[in-house]
């Protein structure tokens, strides 16, 4: 960041008066340009016991499977974002339920939040950001082809919780950066 979006003046990166960490700020107009984590919202859409997954048609991780999820938009709730992402990626209408998993990824400035969901009518199709979509039983999940660790962990929790009596507590975890070259096992 070089220029203030408020007044156009050069900005600096230092600790503003009254703050405790370096930030981009303008010493001309005083605006602090906060940079905050991105929130990723998604759903675990279920239809007749199977989970709806999307094969990514965009980077990152093109060609890998994921739950429908994406960045939250301004002006929407978490639940609205999860429903919108499910529609955009899988052309499916989902009744968004309770919050299920929360993953903190501070090394990439992201927080992932997945909600339990029931598909309204079982209909789905390939959306703009997907190359394929499908309903999968636990045995059919392409475990070695999951796009992100958040997806594998959410699915494992879901099947464990379902097997232990349909009690789905909120799960919160931190995901640290990899200290080596990623492998397929990292999706889990």
CA angle 161, 166, 168 (to 5 degrees): 60
pLDDT digits (tens, 9 = 90+) for 126-160: 999 999 999 999 999 999 999 999 999 999 999 99
pLDDT digits (tens, 9 = 90+) for 88-107: 999 999 999 999 999 999 99
C-alpha span between 57 and 38 (Å, rounded): 21
Helix (H) or strand (E) holding 56: strand 50-56
Assign a CATH topology to domain 38-176: Nucleoside Triphosphate Pyrophosphohydrolase (3.90.79)
What's the distance, Cα to Cα, between the start and end of the chain in Å?
Answer: 36
For the domain 1-35, what is the CATH code?
A: 2.20.70.10
The ranges of the chain annotated as CATH 3.90.79.10 are 38-176
Spatial neighbors of 74 by CB under 8 A, at least 6 apart, are none
């Amino acid at each position: 960041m070089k220029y203030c979006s408020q007044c156009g003046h050069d900005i600096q990166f230092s600790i503003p008066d009254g703050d405790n960490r370096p930030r981009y700020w303008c010493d001309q107009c005083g605006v602090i340009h906060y940079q905050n984590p991105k929130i990723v919202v998604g759903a675990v859409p279920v239809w007749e016991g199977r989970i709806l997954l999307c094969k990514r048609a965009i980077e990152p991780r093109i060609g890998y499977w994921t739950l429908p999820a994406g960045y939250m938009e301004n002006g929407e709730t978490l639940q609205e974002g999860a429903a919108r992402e499910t529609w955009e990626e899988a052309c499916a209408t989902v009744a968004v339920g309770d919050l299920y998993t929360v993953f903190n990824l501070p090394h990439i400035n992201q927080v992932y939040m997945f909600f339990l969901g029931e598909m309204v009518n079982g209909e789905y199709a390939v959306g703009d950001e997907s190359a394929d979509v499908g309903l999968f039983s636990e045995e059919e999940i392409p475990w070695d082809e999951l796009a992100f660790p958040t997806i594998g962990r959410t699915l494992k929790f879901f099947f464990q919780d379902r097997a232990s009596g349909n009690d789905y507590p909120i799960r919160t975890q931190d995901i640290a950066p990899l200290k080596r070259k990623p492998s397929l096992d990292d999706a889990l």
